[in-house]
Structure 1
Amino acid sequence: MTRTEPVATRFAEDCHAIILAGGSGTRLWPLSRTLLPKQLLVLGGASTLLQQTVARVLEIFPPDHVWVVTNEEHVFEVRKQVAVLDPALKGQILAEPLSRNTLPAIMLGLDKVVEADPKALAAVFPSDHLIRNGAAWAADLVRASELAAQKRFVTFGVRPDKPETGYGYIALGDDLGGNAYSVKGFVEKPDFLTADRFLREGTHLWNSGMFLFSAKHFLTQVARCEPVLWDWWMARDETPLVRGYRDIPDISVDYGVVEKIDNITVVRAGFEWDDLGSWEAMYRLGDKDADGNVIRGDVLALNCTGCLLISEGGKLAVSGLRDTIMVQTRDATLACPMDRVQTVRDVVAALKAEGSRLVESHVTVYRPWGNYTVLEEGPQYKIKRIQVSPGARLSSQMHHHRSEHWVVVDGTAEVEVNNEPRILVENQSVDIPKASQHRLANPGKVPLDIIEIQSGPYLEEDDIVRFDDVYGRVQK
């Protein structure tokens, strides 16, 4: 979509965009994990879902009117991904210290919006939706801004094309013209028979989770509907919002505000939309072979039809499957019937209950300085491959419970142990005794690869005491 002057002028003057990028995407496990959720993955197209969302928003909004709200754990990866699209966005990332659902996240973004313009409109977009026909999307935003200027809270509804039980629905009221309707009510994820009736009657739209409203009017409704959140908001001059995050309610914007207020309007979307919220959606939108299979990665499929088969961890060989999902990573494999994809959340919940780390992270974990991959682990030892980006530097740190041994595989390492610096090159090594202060950096122009062998009674990532960190991760 090319930016047109009337749309750009309208939104540049009147509206800010708040992109919500803090979700965990549990229904796409095992690809989506807590530390690398679906919005940061390349699932459809050549870029991540977050990058696709930001690129679409930048067609209308100037960078200084775009705010991305994410989790503290993801802020460096989010900053890196959006900087590829526009370096000015690096300063537009807001970090939640922990997840508190969509309403607090929106209010965190509104803090910046009203600071810039107390009379501004605000548009809220999830970062993990797939949208086609950007010109129609822009036109719908213009229509929504006209309604929001009348103190209407505007949401966007999508015409159903199947009886979907994984989405919320919006009940249509009076026709207001221009594809806009008053809202009679909301229905949260109906059963199949109800969803099928909604589809046949044409009385309901899917709830897209996108909104547009007057920031001032919205905050007035928060004061009325959620007084605890309002008190937290009003105290932000004395206590920054992020400091009080642990004490506020975990509540969605739907439950906290939308379902409690009048004068709600829905704009029926003229664009194609999908939230890529399940493996069924990935199958439905994927390129299919002659047998109706969607295949990605190193997969051998014999006599299979209607399957989604993904491998990111070695050869996946399957035979005689029908309407089945199999997703394999280096450390986990999911298999389930296509019509049971909503139960993936139950799988994740069961893994959490047994304390499995498979919910949190992949074997490769990304950090602001690069990444590390766990190659092997056992009682009192762990082996990692660490890759440090050119010019990057890890924190100055120490560990209470483990010692480490580093071997340089490729590149040049700048190492400091107890204030003693040294340079290591390929095949050279160094010992890091327990409780010694140490630091690793890459002074070169190519990635630095090292093998790290940890040994000790406790090897988890929270055994790190940081003394200095260029990424601001030192606990004060």
Structure 2
Amino acid sequence: MDKPDAVKVEFAEECHAIILAGGSGTRLWPLSRNLLPKQLLVLGGELTLLQQTVARVLEAFEPSRIWVVTNEEHVFEVRKQITAMDPGLESQVLAEPLGRNTLPAIMLGLDRVAGDNLNALAAVFPSDHLIGGSEAWTGDLERASRLAADGHFVTFGVEPRHPETGYGYITLGEDLGEGASAVDGFVEKPDLKTAEGFVKGGRHLWNSGMFLFRIKDFLTQVAKCQPELWEWWMARDEVPLVQAYREIPNISVDYGVVEKIDNIAVVRAGFRWDDLGSWEAMYRLGEKDSNGNVIQGDVLALDCRNSLLISEGGKLAAVGVEDMIMVQTRDATLACPMPRVQMVRDVVETLRAQGSQLVESHPTVHRPWGNYTVLEEGPHYKIKRIQVVPGARLSSQMHHHRSEHWVVVDGTAEVEVDNEPRILVENQSVDIPKASQHRLANPGKVLLNIIEIQSGPYLEEDDIVRFDDEYGRVGKTS
């Protein structure tokens, strides 16, 4: 995509961007799941939150200076989404083998840029925030870069518009000029009374979660504040960072570094900002009808007031509800009073403790070759629709506990079972016996749709042995 003139900013040649695209987005369940978190969803407009972030960062940074850190489960979807914004980003995705919070993720990104110039700057951006006013955003980055070049660790604060209990706050200290202040402290998600006092007092800003710093200064603070992580970092030539990822602490950059150092500055944001971190935020930012409702999808609302009503799976009929959140997908429905929206996280934790798949994935799961949708399942059987994009090929694999039957709905399937290849077209089928090595590909120029019927005593996705895979997943279960 063509980038506007805003790319010609003063700091562009001396700064790298790290976009954090991990996280599970539990507060937007049931739309957001572990395998498709909120940053990968379109939640208004035409672009996902990640794509909106990338588009904004491309206004100030060349693709070669942008790194996106995500979980290895999301690598292929992240790469697809950001490459659609700029093909030069295809090789700029870094994968965490598992989530270890924001500090290790930032250090994973710094591993790619620190060798060039430790005096260079790095900016860190979450991928799930809504930001408006690109000219103000770029100008604030320039101001922050000057502070960082002088040795400050810089964050960005947003003037609070209302007493919000779901955000962190920054306490303002000495005025540093140019709309910047020293930071006297941080307050994490205060209660309502405290938040009301912050809004009235004028000495607190919302913490946007964006940072800018000189790489050398940041690493010095990691060595001082987090010696275990520093050891991990210093040993990276002998043991790659991702290889030792499971042994390092799960720790945020705020708690691990930012809250422990003194030379922190905050730039008062001139841009519009919102952390789309709850259904209440979705309601607040959404377009409302004459009754104050935000309605998306196939919804019938009768005598409803001031409610968020979303359906992505069948008709949602709501009668007489007020100040409610109702979100329906094909496999789950959330009904929650607006004042108790923070309890959505408790719902997710309860489901996780019960071992529910509703936390992990939607009925449709995206894969690098296409997607599959679970149509129906029960004891000893599961029925899926599998879609394979033109030219794509699944791994060569086998299953210990299940057999499969494939029926081609439309398109052309290239099938290999125990080294015997064949071509199947519409309405033709093939049996895949248990423990048979098999592979599926789409050699055609149109989407391939097949129906897969699984049968056996165990039908979970981890019953898979890969022998060969174009996407580097041999030995992995997804």
- What TM-score, normalized to structure 2? 0.98
CA distance in 1, matches of 2:74, 2:462: 17
| Aligned AA (1:364) | T
CA distance in 2, matches of 1:192, 1:167: 11
| Aligned AA (2:406) | W
| Aligned AA (1:241) | L
Q: Which residue of structure 2 lines up, in the alignment, with residue 103 of structure 1?
A: 103
Q: Which residue of structure 2 lines up, in the alignment, with residue 280 of structure 1?
A: 280
**Offset, 1:376:** 0.4
Q: Which residue of structure 2 lines up, in the alignment, with residue 136 of structure 1?
A: 136
Q: Which residue of structure 1 lines up, in the alignment, with residue 394 of structure 2?
A: 394
Alignment of 1:313-392 (within 5 A): 313-392=313-392
CA contact (8 A) 1:414 1:441 kept: yes
Q: Which residue of structure 2 lines up, in the alignment, with residue 438 of structure 1?
A: 438
Alignment of 1:178-197 (within 5 A): 178-197=178-197
Q: Which residue of structure 1 lines up, in the alignment, with residue 293 of structure 2?
A: 293
CA distance in 2, matches of 1:319, 1:190: 35
Alignment of 1:26-425 (within 5 A): 26-425=26-425
CA distance in 2, matches of 1:475, 1:300: 47
| Aligned AA (1:160) | P
**Offset, 1:8:** 2.5
SS at match of 1:244: helix
CA contact (8 A) 2:34 2:359 kept: yes
SS at match of 1:51: helix
SS at match of 2:358: helix
**Offset, 1:23:** 1.1
CA distance in 2, matches of 1:316, 1:354: 26
SS at match of 1:115: coil
**Offset, 1:44:** 2.2
CA distance in 2, matches of 1:307, 1:431: 49
Q: Which residue of structure 2 lines up, in the alignment, with residue 472 of structure 1?
A: 472
CA distance in 2, matches of 1:4, 1:224: 40
| Aligned AA (2:259) | E
CA contact (8 A) 1:399 1:464 kept: yes
**Offset, 1:9:** 4.9
| Aligned AA (1:282) | M
SS at match of 1:190: coil
SS at match of 1:372: strand
CA distance in 1, matches of 2:465, 2:329: 31
CA distance in 2, matches of 1:191, 1:412: 59
CA contact (8 A) 1:412 1:448 kept: yes
SS at match of 2:431: strand
Task: Encode CA deviations 1:81-100: one digit per residue, 9 max, x unaligned.
Answer: 00101111010000000000
SS at match of 1:357: coil
CA distance in 2, matches of 1:4, 1:116: 26
CA distance in 2, matches of 1:229, 1:76: 28
CA distance in 2, matches of 1:305, 1:207: 32
| Aligned AA (1:285) | L
CA distance in 2, matches of 1:370, 1:118: 41
| Aligned AA (2:464) | I
- What TM-score, normalized to structure 1? 0.99
**Offset, 1:425:** 0.3
SS at match of 2:90: helix
Q: Which residue of structure 1 lines up, in the alignment, with residue 460 of structure 2?
A: 460
CA distance in 1, matches of 2:393, 2:12: 38
Q: Which residue of structure 2 lines up, in the alignment, with residue 427 of structure 1?
A: 427
SS at match of 2:310: strand
| Aligned AA (2:197) | R
CA distance in 2, matches of 1:463, 1:132: 45
**Offset, 1:120:** 1.2
SS at match of 1:435: coil
Task: Encode CA deviations 1:314-363: one digit per residue, 9 max, x unaligned.
Answer: 00011000010000000000000111111100000110111111000000
Task: Encode CA deviations 1:175-227: one digit per residue, 9 max, x unaligned.
Answer: 11111000000001000000000000111000000000001110000000000
Count of residue pairs brought into register by the alignment: 475
Q: Identical aligned pairs, as a percentage?
A: 78
What root-mean-square deviation, in Å, do the aligned CA atoms of Structure 1 and Structure 2 show?
Answer: 1.1
Task: Encode CA deviations 1:401-450: one digit per residue, 9 max, x unaligned.
Answer: 00000000010000000000000000000000000000000000110000
**Offset, 1:45:** 1.4
CA contact (8 A) 1:27 1:279 kept: yes
SS at match of 2:81: helix
CA contact (8 A) 2:395 2:470 kept: yes
**Offset, 1:113:** 1.4
**Offset, 1:2:** 6.6
CA distance in 1, matches of 2:391, 2:118: 41
CA contact (8 A) 2:17 2:67 kept: yes
Which ranges of structure 1 fall in alignment gaps of 5 or more residues? none
CA contact (8 A) 1:100 1:251 kept: yes
CA contact (8 A) 1:11 1:61 kept: no
**Offset, 1:470:** 0.4
CA contact (8 A) 2:405 2:430 kept: yes
**Offset, 1:13:** 1.4
CA distance in 1, matches of 2:126, 2:264: 19
CA distance in 2, matches of 1:288, 1:76: 35
| Aligned AA (1:414) | E
CA distance in 2, matches of 1:117, 1:388: 43
Q: Give 4+ residue runs of structure 1 displaced > 3 Å after superposition.
A: 1-5
**Offset, 1:11:** 3.1
SS at match of 1:193: helix
